[in-house]
Structure 1
Amino acid sequence: MTREPVLEIDDIRVTFDTPDGAVEAVRGVSMRVGQGETVAVVGESGSGKSQVMMSAMGLLASNGQATGSVRYRGQEILNLPTDKLNKIRGAKITMIFQEPMTSLDPLYTIEDQLCEPLMIHGGKSRGKASARVLELLKLVQIPEPERKMKAYPYELSGGQRQRVMIAMALANDPDLLIADEPTTALDVTIQAEILHLLADLQKRLGMSILFITHDLGIVEAFADRVYVMRHGKLEEEGETAQIFNAPVTEYTRMLLDAEPSGTKAAPAQDAQVMLEGHGVKVTFGQPAGFLRKDTQFTAVRGIDVALRQEQTIGIVGESGSGKSTLGRALLQLLPAEGRVVYLGHEIGGLDRKGMRPYRDGLQMVFQDPYGSLSPRMTVSEIITEGLLVHEPGLSSKERAKRAAQALEDVGLEPSMRNRFPHEFSGGQRQRIAIARAVVLRPKVIVLDEPTSALDRSVQKQVIELLRRLQKEHALSYLFISHDLAVVRALSDYVMVMKDGAVVEEGQTEQVFDNPRASYTHELMRAAFDLRGILREKLA
């Protein structure tokens, strides 16, 4: 069935003016989105998929220029004057971005921010706009909407902030919703809820959805048609079933085969225990006092864990389950109760000075390498910073040699050491973060969501890298993630956390194939049967 086109993109080309010359990010791409249709655009980082949409919406960076044709219901909108374009974008075409915390203004309440498009594009008074805000928050199933509309973005969870962004996009009943990686940073259960919400709203409102993502599981469950992009060009397009069951190009086959695979063998039962925690408990806030309310919140509730040499323990659970807090508590990066022992040494409660002799053996890799790498330091300075503290006797030549070796260990050229973080891709930045950790030759590394923001193909490379480094250096990993496919491929033991407590733990195969706790079963289903969940909920 041919649907009436809502958006038509023809031969779009996007060029950026840079100090190194012109960079062609999009090279002659054409797409169509029909009425009530869900179309997915997939590809690795740098493929140009987001730039196609940014040019269509008139949101390119100041050094970018777009040529070609973009038509909304037959009207040319590419390079349309701002005043005329504003009558369409924000009203007829709206967009949800990947990270709601950076898209929402931290200084304004949710009500203020949702009222704005209603007053500007819908011409509503403040009173009518506020009433509509309440309707929208109920529509996207925000709990306690009357209270949450008075809240600030930081007071909401990641899933709730993403629902607010959806509410903002739906404020003026758009024809087309463009969703740019709207679920990448969300847990699998919240991801399933957001996708169900979008599918339900589409069914009720009849709008079209253009979904930009690198998560092929979502595409298979959610999209009618798919466009595959690479290096600024279209590699392949077609019905979702055809793309997944009979891909034409080698690149599409590579993307489909990039799902994490393999298993991790458990270490010997008598392998040395490297790091262990007994009754680890973390509480934030303060108890009630004179003229002070009780603000205490227990994030980790008395957990026991023992990590052996060359073992990888995967810690999974939703946002707020306490998994990252547990990892930081074990490394003494925040105050905690209970015992923590590293190689027979009691380290629980040690201050910064007391921990210094153990820091080189206990390292951490964070989720966002761009946020954890100083933009003012070169890669060489970032990697050798720890050596200056923990091995001050090394000469500058020896430090440079160690940095070069660390870069080679993570698959990067030593010649890259004088570049800055912004000059690397997301996957390369994550490798730099890992190099910074391994240069100190640690025994234990806590990896906190190190692959969640990466494309599947890059994820696969990082998984292989972590496996190789573990084998070569006898490393032990505590792997914190909400991506269960990655956890299954990398871990030999899994702990499932909910509300600060462990609800289930055991060998990876047992937990994944025969979960005992109903919560674990829900997590597994949300991760591996997204299509089934959406089909059931929309029936």
Structure 2
Amino acid sequence: MAAADLNAPAPQPAGVPVLAIRDLDVRFRTGDGELRAVKGVSFDVAAGETLAIVGESGSGKSQTMMAVMGLLAANGAATGSVTVGGEEILGLSPRQLNRFRGRRLGMIFQEPMTSLDPLYRIGDQLAEPLLAHAGMSRKEARARALELLTLVGIPRPAERLDSYPHELSGGQRQRVMIAMALANRPEVLIADEPTTALDVTIQAQVLDLLADLKRRFGMAIVFITHDLGIVRRIADRVVVMKSGQIVETGRTEEVFAAPREAYTRMLLAAEPTGRKEPPPADAPPVVEARDVRVSFNLRKGWFGGGDRELVAVDGVDLLLRRGGTIGIVGESGSGKSTLGRAVLRLVPSSGTVRFEDRDLTSLDRSAMRPVRRRMQLVFQDPFGSLSPRMTVGEIITEGLLVHEPAITRAERNRRAAQALEEVSLDPASRNRFPHEFSGGQRQRIAIARTMILKPAVVVLDEPTSALDRSVQKEIVELLRDLQRRHGLSYLFISHDLAVVRAIADEIIVMKSGKVVERGTVDGIFRDAHEPYTQALIAAAFLSKEAGPAA
């Protein structure tokens, strides 16, 4: 394959869909019997079009395309028909499928850090599909890998060939995954939630890149997502899935203008809405931080040579009042999560942090323990923060064993039931394990774990970023309700400005460890002064205004 082929559209048979799916069923064998994840799904994808498959978690959208790629789990099986350019591929052996995977069908996965091998350099991983499918020599494959990194906009591509995945940012790793999927110029590119974990500005760049590559290559894109804003921006047609079935399909502009199904209307209305009441102007301060600074020593050599200091938080002030919410926004690496941990005294820092008129700066670990129950943290990934070996009841009451060891088991059970009711979960579910719950339910469990200790301040670190839009809306409404009932104060850390607008009173914008802008929610969204803030807002809301990409 000549280098010039990278910019040539792939030839397609006239009148034949590049991808056709008919009556696809996907079933999994489980300990509780057979689970039918995809139920009789049928649709076509034309050359050069972008088809979006949308739906909530568990709708079957990802399993549909995993069946197309022959990547179902060992306990899964698919029946029906899948053709690529008229050739049947469903039921082929892995060796036979390799004629199609990589060469005619490419796939980008949601989390590049788990898809890229941490032990291999980027150049070697890009070369692998070229060696396997294009018959190139290693020298030719390395030259093509450099060309691919340049194509997807990686800075200093020659240097990055010898980098490992952990040395790249999240956006750069996703670009590498795109380059790998494009290595053999496939006819169909399947993108499974490729922007979910990315900052809004990086998300916008990746979407622009995919639209540009589609124009250059004339390839089809199947874009799997739960974000309707992205669909409006990039898709020509939409397939809406629920419980393994297609409930609606049509041109993007038609589905958005006049959705026929109630489920589609619910998805379109799932953006977090409403506003919280600001605290009274005379509400007392709960947390006051002054000149907070956090730095890390980075060692470059085995013997400490070339050490340098990374300043993660650089002289930040904040004042959080009772019943108030400060939204802390910024891209990855801006220092927002580190600031939250510094306020909780979970990382070493300089400056002062006062909580309810008490200076926490000089307190050691033992002296901080009584304060901790009043200052709680909710993590981004509820599945990762909940022990899989403990029941929900044990998880929720774990803090009580530390802070109220004298209370009886019966009293702990009573409080666990009460905490679950507060977050709208069945108290009887406290004997189940985290894997038996959905993502939104697990986040409710994580919130119940904090609420049982009756905190005054809760730091919420990206608590909705891994959730469907409809579930995000539910969690935002839950947090606002808990705040009203208990007079809670929140530090809400997020890169999702739509969520921040629905829950915060004040916004702090961080970049490279510094606060570059702050103000009320209305003030920031109406009249942001800093170009960086303006770029964040534009990237977050552009997808809701733009039509399908060319």
Q: Which band: TM-score by shorter chain?
A: over 0.9
2:526 pairs with 1:502: no
Whichever residue aligns with residue 40 of structure 2, its letter is G
1:86 correspondence with 2:107: no
In the other structure, the counterpart of 2:73 is 61
Contact 1:266–1:493 under 8 Å retained in 2:
no
Question: Which residues of 2 match residues 227-242 of structure 1 at below 5 A?
Answer: 227-242=239-254
Counterpart-to-counterpart distance in 2, 1:500 and 1:534: 35
2:132 alignment counterpart: 120
SS at match of 1:5: coil
Pairing partner for 2:500 from 459, 478, 487:
487
Moved more, 167-176 or 287-296: 287-296
Q: 1:3 touches 1:35 (CA, 8 Å); kept in 2?
A: no
Residue 135 and residue 344 in structure 1: after superposition, are their counterparts in 2 closer, same or farther (change >3 A)? same
Single out whichever of 37-46 and 148-157 deviates more from structure 2. Answer: 148-157
Match of 1:373 among 386, 391, 405: 386
The reply on whether 1:463 has 2:439 as its aligned counterpart is no
SS in 1 for 2:70: coil
Compute the displacement of 1:531 (Å): 6.5
* AA at the equivalent of 2:449: R
Change (3 A) 1:351 1:102: farther
2:58 to 42, 46, 68: 46
Q: Is 1:151 matched with 2:163?
A: yes
State the Cα distance separating 1:349 from its structure 2 match.
Answer: 4.8
AA in 2 matched with 1:364: L
Secondary structure of 1:12's counterpart equals: strand
Is 1:207 matched with 2:219?
A: yes
Equivalent residues of 1:365, 1:447 under 8 A apart: yes
Task: Show the counterpart of 2:260.
Answer: 248
Pairing 1:402–2:415 present: yes
- Give secondary structure in 2 for the equivalent of 1:319: coil
Inter-partner Cα distance in structure 1 for 2:425 and 2:53: 29
Q: Any idea what SS the aligned residue of 2:308 has?
A: coil
Aligned-residue offset at 1:105 = 1.1
Q: What 5-or-longer segments of structure 2 have no aligned partner?
A: 1-13
Q: Residue 291 and residue 332 in structure 1: after superposition, are their counterparts in 2 closer, same or farther (change >3 A)?
A: closer
Contact 2:24 2:79 in 1 (8 A): yes
Superposition map of 1:94-105 within 5 A: 94-105=106-117
What TM-score does the superposition give when structure 2 sets the normalisation length? 0.95
Contact 1:222–1:531 under 8 Å retained in 2: no
Please give the alpha-carbon distance, in whole angstroms, between the structure 2 residues aligned to 1:88 and 1:403: 52
Q: Percent identity?
A: 62
Secondary structure of 2:240's match?
strand
Cα shift at 1:348? 2.1
1:411 alignment counterpart: 424
1:411-443 CA distances to partner (integer Å, 9 max, x unpaired)? Answer: 110111111111111111111111111111100
CA drift of 1:395 comes to: 0.7
Deviation of 1:98 after TM superposition, in Å, equals 0.6
The one-letter code sitting in structure 2 at the alignment partner of 1:89 is R
The equivalent of 1:518 in structure 2 is: 531
Tell me how far apart the structure 2 counterparts of residues 349 and 434 of structure 1 sit (CA, whole Å): 29
Q: How does 1:84-483 map to 2 (within 5 A)?
A: 84-285=96-297, 292-483=305-496
Q: Deviations over 1:469-509 (max 9, x none)?
A: 11111110100011110000011111111111111111101
Q: Which amino acid aligns with 2:527?
A: N
The structural deviation recorded for 1:350 is: 3.1
* CA distance in 2 between partners of 1:291 and 1:222 (Å): 48
Distance in 1 (alpha carbons) for counterparts of 2:166 and 2:346: 22
Deviation at 1:129, TM superposition (A): 0.9
Q: Is the 8 A contact 2:232 2:547 kept in 1?
A: no
Counterpart CA distance in 2 for 1:482 and 1:292 is 36
Deviation at 1:286, TM superposition (A): 5.0
**Aligned equivalents of 1:259, 1:451: Cα separation in 2:** 12
Tell me how far apart the structure 2 counterparts of residues 474 and 411 of structure 1 sit (CA, whole Å).
19
Rate the CA distance shift 1:286–1:27 in 2: closer, same or farther, 3 A.
Answer: closer
The answer to whether the Cα contact below 8 Å between 1:110 and 1:150 also exists between their aligned partners in 2 is: yes
TM-score by length of 1: 0.97
CA distance in 1, matches of 2:450, 2:28: 35
> Within 1, Cα distance between the matches of 2:94 and 2:197?
32
SS at match of 2:18: strand
Separation of aligned partners in 2, 1:311 and 1:7: 52
Structure 2 distance, partners of 1:257, 1:352, is: 46
Q: CA RMSD in A?
A: 1.6
Give the whole-Å Cα distance in 1 for the aligned partners of 2:270 and 2:185. 37
Deviations 1:301-360 (A, max 9, x none): 100001111101101111111111100111111111110111111112533222101110
